[in-house]
Amino acid sequence: MEQIAHVDMDAFFVSVEELYDPTLRGKPVVVGAAGDERGVVAAASYEARKYGIHSAMPSRTAKRLCPEAIFLPGNYDRYQEWSDKVRKILERFTPIVQMVSIDEAYLDLTGTERLHGAAPAAGPAGSGAGGAGWTIAQKIQRAIWEETKLPCSIGVANSYLVAKVASDVAKPRGLLWVPAGAEAAFLSPLPVRRIPGIGAVTEKVLYAMGVGTVGELARVTEDQLVEAFGAWGKGLYLKARGQDTDLWFVDEEQKSISHERTFAEDVSDPKELDSTLAYLAELVGRRLREHCFHARTITLKLRTAEFRTLTRAKTLREPTDLDAVIYETAAALFRRAWDRKKKVRLVGIAAGSLTEGPQQLPLLEAERRARQEKLARAADKVRARFGTKAIRSAKTLPSKPR
DNA sequence: TCTGGGGTCCTAGGACCC
DNA sequence: TCTGGGGTCCTAGGACCC
């Protein structure tokens, strides 16, 4: 019998901030864009949530809902450090730990009963009684709290899907075990939106079909779902029954590297757009070199003032990790995509079709490239020591002071 | 209300090849 | 004059997640 635990840190970014500034405790705190900036809430304290604030909400809306809320820009390196500490704790309980994001992990507890001592008496979901998984989950939650003072919630079930939904329902500081056989009863009253993979669009279509809860979804036939959603319908059919739709194998290969910028105000000045592209190309190039990746596809992203997003991609003959090639490619795509009449809200550059290590090149070409690589790596070193802005090619300098 | 930044995966059409 | 089927690569858009 599978036993999966889903460990989810509660209001993670805010909780870490509280470690460094205890006076934040009990106050409405938001990590993300400031209340007068373009951007969204990345994390909200439970106090802030009482005002209706939640993650992904525009910060300006959050500010309106709670003018006295404290807005923090966030310190992602710090969050990563605490995430690593949590991971190390988790790994003491089972070798099979998959961090699926900075603040959540799946643990496969199958077969760990002997290690941790089973308490096999069965009980209804959430009753707190029984299950080896339950016992371990209690120990994990306590260990994380004692060693980091960070709160988390844990769901335990026999599928990844139900474990994740359970940790979500348990929040905050909760523990929820869904015994085998109790999945349908547990899921049935929940709104479909609680199922991972069902977002705003799918929710709306389901609602139009008269489906609001997971129980109602489970009563729709597979044929009807395939009719309405195509291949995705089959996945919905399984999800409604608490079954995993994809294999949770560890796939650590990164597929793309990207950077983008939303301007504080929409921009129509070609020079400013060009310098931003050059800057983004440098960020992307640097990360490619850091990871020893070469990219064969460069994608330009552009979002207009009306919030229309378009992408233009170009596949190169030779994979690259050079700022200049990335910049030239992106700039050419940008010229093709932008009609100069529209104001621009966002530009971004993504590097895809990643390969590891350099490709074979003719000798002269290789030498020229080696020099460019050397230059780029030297610049990376300076940036590592003095910050991103210590070295920039002249192109990335803004056309006017900001 | 006015919508980040960094990702993954999926679909669909056209080009091109055999 | 009419017109296959399968496979791969590329591009564009979009849903979704944290």
Q: What is the pLDDT of residues A94-110, one digit of tens each?
A: 988 999 999 999 999 98
| CB of A256 nearer than 7 A to strand B | yes
Tell me if A128 sits within 8 A of A134, measured CB to CB.
Answer: yes
Domains plus CATH for chain A? 4-9+79-186 (3.30.70.270), 13-76 (3.40.1170.60), 188-239 (1.10.150.20), 256-396 (3.30.1490.100)
| CB of A287 nearer than 7 A to strand B | yes
Tell me if A384 sits within 8 A of A321, measured CB to CB.
Answer: no
Nucleotides of B under 7 A from a protein CB: 1-12
Q: What is the pLDDT of residues A306-322, one digit of tens each?
A: 999 999 999 999 999 99
Q: What is the mean pLDDT of residues A119-145?
A: 71
A104 is catalytic: yes
Residue A290 has pLDDT above 60, yes or no: yes
Measured CA to CA, the distance from residue A190 to residue A170 in angstroms comes to 13
Q: What is the pLDDT of residues A331-377, one digit of tens each?
A: 999 999 998 889 999 999 999 999 987 655 555 555 555 656 665 66
What is the pLDDT, as a whole number, of residue A121?
Answer: 43
Angle of CA points A386, A254, A157, to nearest 5°: 115
CA of A236 to C1' of B13 (A): 26
Q: What is the pLDDT of residues A255-273, one digit of tens each?
A: 999 999 999 999 999 999 9
Find which nucleotide's C1' atom is closest to A103's CA.
C18
Neighbours of A32 (CB within 10 A): 24
pTM: 0.84
Find which nucleotide's C1' atom is closest to A235's CA.
B10
What letter represents residue A298's amino acid?
A: I
For A45, counting Cβ atoms within 10 Å of its Cβ (0-12 exposed, 13-18 middle, 19+ buried), the class is buried
Helix, strand, or coil here: A98?
A: strand
| CB of A200 nearer than 7 A to strand C | yes
Does an H or E element contain A309, and which?
strand A309-320
Q: What is the mean pLDDT of residues A293-306?
A: 96
- H runs (alpha helix) in A240-322: 270-290
Kind of pairing between the strands at A152-157 and A29-32: unpaired
Contacts 24+ apart (CB under 8 A), A158-161: A158/A1, A158/A2, A158/A3, A158/A4, A158/A183, A159/A2, A159/A4, A159/A183, A159/A242, A159/A243, A159/A244, A160/A4, A160/A6, A160/A106, A160/A244, A160/A248, A161/A195, A161/A196, A161/A239, A161/A242, A161/A243, A161/A244, A161/A245
> What's A100-130 look like in SS3?
EECCEEEEECCCCHHHHCCCCCCCCCCCCCC
Q: Among residues A82, A79, A53, A77, which one has the least CA distance to residue A65?
A: A53
Q: What is the pLDDT of residues A68-89, one digit of tens each?
A: 999 999 999 999 999 999 999 9
Helix, strand, or coil here: A218?
A: helix
3-state helix, strand, coil in chain A (%, to 5): 45, 20, 35
Does an H or E element contain A135, and which?
helix A132-148
Tokens matching residue A285? 């190039």
